[in-house]
Amino acid sequence: MNSGQYSHIDGDELANALVSGFRCVIAQQEHLNHINVFPVADSDTGTNLSLSLGSALAVIDNSEEKHLGPMLASLADALLDGARGNSGAIFAQFFQGFSDSAGELTHFTAYTFGKAVNLGSEYAHDALSKPRDGTVLSVMQAFAESVTQLASENSEVEFADVISKAQIKVDQALVDTPKQLNVLRKAGVVDAGAKGFALLVGGMSDYLRDGIIEPMPAISLLDEIEAPVEFSTADNSSQFRFCTECLVTASEIDRRKLRESLASLGDSVVLAGSKRKAKIHIHADNPDAVFEVARQFGELSGEKADDMYRQKNATHGSSDSFAVITDSGADISDEDMERLDIHMVPCRIQFGDRGYLDKVSISAAEFYAELESNSHHPTTSQPSPGDFRRQFQFLASHFKDVLSVTLTSRASGTYEGARLAAKRSEAPGRIHVVDSLNVSIGQGQLTVLAAECAAAGISIGETLKILEREVPRTKTFGLLCDLRYAVRGGRLPQWVKLIADLMRVTPIIYVKTNGGIGLAKFLLGRRNRISQYAKFIGSHCKDGETVQVGIGHAICPEDAEELAKELRNNIVSINALKICELGAGLGVHGGPGTLVVSIRPAISDDNFISRVD
């Protein structure tokens, strides 16, 4: 049945119309990224809307009979959980109001549909701390006002006519957005979020007129990636670094107080949801401060913080042939992260009921201070496939290929999670996941190598061959000066620590060629352990071989400098030596004082060296 021939619409037909609308938005993902200049020119509106609406499509696909009220309630809840970015949160709040108005209705008349979209528009407007004309809010309002007017003029008007005529008003409101926002007028584009909503209405209108559901676009087959609009003014530049999001769940959330508490932490605040579940979106410099405020209002989940500076640099200023991303199990200096535009998916750290995003909402120094003082020994968990998928999809919308270098699969499910995310992304053939078979500094060295290849213009295929050769040649060792943390975490029995302390020995662990972690040796005595450690590492270097060395330290920079000096005395040829802080991946087991060293033979190919240099 084509519901456009009737003056009402039931759950099944509305679901079909929404599916068509959602798919129209997803099909234009690249274009929406291209024109995204407000509120921040981070070129991700299309990706965020695609991921957000994808969660709603999953709900509709999993439901056979679509009772209107329950279907919209489930859809609104899924959108809230899956909302990504500013635009995704606003869409989620529109559908929250749309659902609340539907209540227990079994079908919409033009009149009740008008009430529902009006409430959705009001909810979306109220979700923003600083609503602006010329954005998606203006287009939502035009849609709501047009439907309401048409319904008041003729209570028996056919649904296809209502949406078709309202679409004209929506399209005009979209065209007018540059007249309302100077940043859009100067850039010569319409608002990306508003364009997304206009596409949604257009897809619904097409279905109601023709009765044909828009097919799911084959995003992965798109060959052309539109370069983002190169444009920046004071109107579209956030002074804050992280796009931060989380969900708060409670029996009664004081939304006004929550909004007020967030106001001083950043800008672009969107508070979507209901009194029982609220989705926070904010641009902030300190994600943990946002999460701390959120915890005061209910149970926290879904914490996310994306580095907008790195995203903008990658999409607007990068000439790399492919993007490189890793997880926070890799320890890489801030200098290399910035220089090579390396992206990172944070692992999660849990101290009792308090959670953090590794290297985002907690620094290395803060982690070790908490490790020493907190009675709860932390647990670490890998990023979810959804965390990877969000990043993969964003990067794939701006690069021909994406290369992910993960923590060893023998110690974590991170590799499998990334591989699953790549498979389920909308660009599966262009996302390449490499198991580093390594940890910490070793994983970091391999990630840096991949990023240097990208910066040098080396192809993804050639880079994958280089990594395949270098993975087994990269060796990583760790000196554990205090075994109490490994005991607390259940990695070692108490008696091992007692014997080690009694005999005054210090263990060296190493990463096996298969990616597993084993015990390499015990060093006797404590006074000259750094010298002994350096000699041990030097013994694993071939005579005359030039190597690159990485050192990671757990808040013991003086020991790291001493170790660097000793390594230079014990290794004949070092062409690069870098020192950085050790993250939680190994630090959770070694604690303060841990020293990790990774050595990798320098690539001797002159052609490769000249291209990387």
Over the stretch 198-217, which tens digit does the pLDDT of each residue have?
999 999 999 999 999 999 88
Query: What's the pLDDT score for residue 499?
Result: 85
Q: Annotate 182-246 with three-state secondary structure.
A: HHHHHHCCCCHHHHHHHHHHHHHHHHHHHCCCCCCCCHHHCCCCCCCCCCCCHHHCCCCCEEEEE
Lowest mean pLDDT among 58-62, 463-467, 506-510: 58-62
**Is 96 exposed, middle or buried (CB count within 10 Å of its CB: 0-12, 13-18, 19+)?**
buried
Query: What's the pLDDT score for residue 234?
Result: 47
Q: Give yes or no: residues 203 and 278 share one domain.
A: no
The residue-averaged pLDDT of 179-196 equals 94
**What's the order of all strands across the beta sheet hosting 354-357?**
354-357, 348-351, 379-381
Which residues make beta-bridge pairs with 242? 284, 307
Query: What's the pLDDT score for residue 219?
Result: 55
Q: Which three-class secondary structure state does DSSP give residue 303? A: strand
Q: Are 563 and 451 in contact (CB under 8 A)?
A: no
Q: Is the pLDDT of residue 110 over 50?
A: yes
pLDDT digits (tens, 9 = 90+) for 245-257: 999 999 999 999 9
Q: Give yes or no: residues 291 and 194 share one domain.
A: no
Task: Provide the whole-model pTM.
Answer: 0.76
Query: What's the pLDDT score for residue 225?
Result: 47
First-to-final CA distance of the chain = 65
**What's the order of all strands across the beta sheet hosting 517-524?**
517-524, 505-511, 475-479, 595-601, 546-553, 573-581
Q: Spell out the residues 6+ positions from residue 597 whose beta carbon is closer than 8 angstroms to its own.
A: 441, 476, 477, 478, 479, 533, 537, 549, 550, 551, 552, 563, 567
> What is the DSSP-derived secondary structure letter of residue 608?
H
Spacing of C-alpha 452 from chain mean position: 23
Q: Give yes or no: residues 210 and 262 share one domain.
A: no
Query: What's the pLDDT score for residue 222?
Result: 40
Q: Looking at the domain assignment, is residue 68 inside a domain?
A: yes
Q: Looking at the domain assignment, is residue 369 inside a domain?
A: no
Lowest mean pLDDT among 88-97, 151-160, 163-172, 179-188: 151-160
Alpha-carbon distances, residue 11 vs 68, 136, 206, 302, 587 (angstroms): 4, 25, 17, 30, 53
Q: Give yes or no: residues 34 and 131 share one domain.
A: yes
Q: Give yes or no: residues 208 and 250 share one domain.
A: no
Token pair listed for 408: 């060893």
Spacing of C-alpha 532 from chain mean position: 42
Q: Looking at the domain assignment, is residue 35 inside a domain?
A: yes
Q: Looking at the domain assignment, is residue 335 inside a domain?
A: no
Q: Is the pLDDT of residue 88 over 70?
A: yes
Q: What domain count does the chain have?
A: 3
Candidates 597, 540, 571; CA nearest to 331 is 597
Q: Looking at the domain assignment, is residue 425 inside a domain?
A: no
Q: Give yes or no: residues 48 and 180 share one domain.
A: yes
Q: Spell out the residues 6+ positions from residue 58 whose beta carbon is closer than 8 angstroms to its own.
A: 78
The residue-averaged pLDDT of 236-262 equals 89
Boundary of a domain, candidates 317, 335, 365:
317
CA 536/CA 555 separation, integer angstroms = 22
pLDDT digits (tens, 9 = 90+) for 322-371: 999 999 999 999 999 999 999 999 999 999 888 899 999 999 999 999 99
Name the most confidently modeled range: 221-225, 329-333, 504-508, 518-522: 329-333
CA 346/CA 357 separation, integer angstroms = 6
Q: Give yes or no: residues 137 and 257 share one domain.
A: no
Q: Is the pLDDT of residue 513 over 60?
A: yes
Q: Is the pLDDT of residue 1 over 50?
A: no
> DSSP characters for 38-98?
SS---S-HHHHHHHHHHHHHHHHHT-SS--HHHHHHHHHHHHHHH--HHHHHHHHHHHHHH
Q: Give yes or no: residues 204 and 266 share one domain.
A: no
Q: Looking at the domain assignment, is residue 404 inside a domain?
A: no
Q: Looking at the domain assignment, is residue 59 inside a domain?
A: yes
Q: Give yes or no: residues 271 and 152 share one domain.
A: no
Q: Looking at the domain assignment, is residue 424 inside a domain?
A: no
pLDDT digits (tens, 9 = 90+) for 121-148: 999 999 998 899 999 999 999 999 999 9
In the chain, pLDDT over 90 holds for what percent of residues? 67
Q: Which CATH number belongs to the domain containing residue 120 in this structure?
A: 1.25.40.340
Alpha-carbon distances, residue 202 vs 108, 169, 406 (angstroms): 19, 11, 41
Query: What's the pLDDT score for residue 221?
Result: 37
Q: Give yes or no: residues 254 and 298 share one domain.
A: yes
Q: Give yes or no: residues 242 and 208 share one domain.
A: no
Q: Which CATH number belongs to the domain containing residue 588 in this structure?
A: 3.30.1180.10
Boundary of a domain, candidates 167, 182, 216:
216
Q: Which CATH number belongs to the domain containing residue 290 in this structure?
A: 3.30.70.980
Boundary of a domain, candidates 317, 334, 358:
317
Query: What's the pLDDT score for residue 319?
Result: 60
Q: Give me the domain span that covers residue 569.
A: 475-612
Residue 162, phi-psi category: left (phi > 0), alpha (psi -120 to 50), beta (remainder): alpha
Q: Give yes or no: residues 199 and 247 share one domain.
A: no
